[in-house]
Amino acid sequence: MNSTAPLDVGDHQHATFPEGLDLECGVHLAPVDVAYRTYGTLSAKRDNAIVVCHAFTGDQYVADIHPLTGKPGWWGRMVGPGRPIDTNRFFVICMNVLGGCMGSTGPRSLRTDGKGNGTERWGTDFPPITIRDMVRAQHMLVRHLGIERLFAVVGGSMGGMQVLEWAVTYPHMMLAAMPIATAPYHSAQNIAFNEVGRQSIFADPDWHGGRYWQQGVVPARGLAVARMMAHITYLSEEALTRKFGRRVRKDPSNAQAPEASLSMFSDVFEVESYLRYQGSAFVRRFDANSYLTITRAMDWFDLAAEHDGELPAAFAGTPVRFCVVSFSSDWLFPTSSARYLVRALNQAAANVSFVEIDTDKGHDSFLLDEPDFDRTVRGFLCGVAEHAGLA
């Protein structure tokens, strides 16, 4: 957590849309950059494209080495040749969300509202973004790639919110939707956790009202605390107990101390050491202003509210085939939220299947080794392809 040097996010493959977007907040944002990665080959008929939507702190590096961390992509086990989302067969597109910090227009971008001298970044003056705004930016890129109809849109957590928004906004542009570990609205508890994360960033002395770039620092400590807390919510109590239990990592400088001498602040439980690592690794790849912008977008997400409080109305007459997935130990987006979504889809007479994966790994299960989940993804995509005559 000593990494307070400004974040250099480098350069990313992207498209620029000079016409920009009319955002839901009423602001016209232009130009808009959309950074993206693709995997596999677009078919001659352009009918095999799958949009993968990333979660809150994810990015477009689904299945190749991440340029900042040097680590494999976040969903390499799901996307690739022979994988459940098989790139021998499908053309996969993943885009950094609007408001993000990996190349798409966001708070790190130079401001284009005529204020500042052309070298100033948006920071907290970046206009508020909604999940629908993110999806409309993705839609521009999909059209830019010459694709008129997607085979599917797939994503977990906040990615699942985007999947739902895609299905509601562009129902005739996609055959299938797979919202995973998500909900059609952000709950009071989830808003509460996001708010604590934001307050932690605001409390950092290096926050500087969001203009930390001008000071050559980043609010690394506040951002790390926010990440540590959020990380707990991504796991289950069972997973934490299995991985760490109450094991203690002895401070080497206390190794010779008698057993009776508790070194309560230098010896740390392994779960503490793990969280500290998660926090400090995160601040090297993520921007605090994007943290604020994106958590706010999640908090405001409420599909029913966009349709006079009636969730089934959001899906009325939809031709999209849905497969809703939840994980039994996910307490951030619990199965009850998925059931609420499925009931609304059923009321709208949509084509929907629902799978609850039995696992103790918590919300993050969709990123982990869950063979049942792999089979669900592969099976659903094969079924849709067969039904569409693409087999």
Please give the torsion angle defined by the CA atoms of residues 144, 150, 152 and 156, in that order, rounded to the nearest 10 degrees.
20
**Window 294 to 323, contacts with its own copies (CB under 8 A):** 296, 299-300, 302, 305
Interface with its own copies (CB under 8 A), residue total 59
DSSP string across 232-288? HHHS-HHHHHHHTTT-EE--GGGTTS-TT---TTTSEEHHHHHHHHHHHHHTTT--H
**Token digits of residue 11:** 């350069």
Task: Examine residue 150 and tell whether it contacts its own copies (CB under 8 A).
Answer: no
Question: Which residue numbers are catalytic?
Answer: 157, 330, 363
The answer to whether 275 contacts its own copies (rule: CB under 8 A) is: yes
> Residue 198 carries which side chain, given as an amino acid letter?
R
Cα–Cα distance measured from residue 332 to residue 236, given in angstroms and rounded to the nearest whole number: 9
Contact segment (CB under 8 A) with its own copies among 88-96, 152-160, 166-174, 236-244 equals 236-244
Kind of pairing between the strands at 150-156 and 174-180: parallel
Q: What residues from 114 to 143 belong to the interface with its own copies (CB under 8 A)?
A: 124, 128, 130
Query: Which residue in 170, 177, 168, 122 sits closest to 149, CA to CA?
Result: 170
Among 150, 224, 341, 367, binds its own copies (CB under 8 A): 224
Q: Give the shortest CB-338-to-its own copies separation in angstroms.
A: 14
CB burial of residue 389 (10 Å; 0-12, 13-18, 19+)? exposed
Query: Least CB distance from residue 391 to its own copies, whole Å?
Result: 42
Cα–Cα distance measured from residue 270 to residue 249, given in angstroms and rounded to the nearest whole number? 6
262 touching its own copies, by CB under 8 A:
yes
Nearer residue to its own copies within complex by CB, 101 or 225: 225
Interacting residues toward its own copies by CB under 8 A: 1, 24-26, 124, 128, 130, 185-189, 191-193, 195-196, 199-200, 202-205, 221-222, 224-225, 228-229, 232, 235, 237, 240-241, 243-246, 258, 260-265, 269, 271-272, 275-276, 279, 292, 296, 299-300, 302, 305, 331, 334
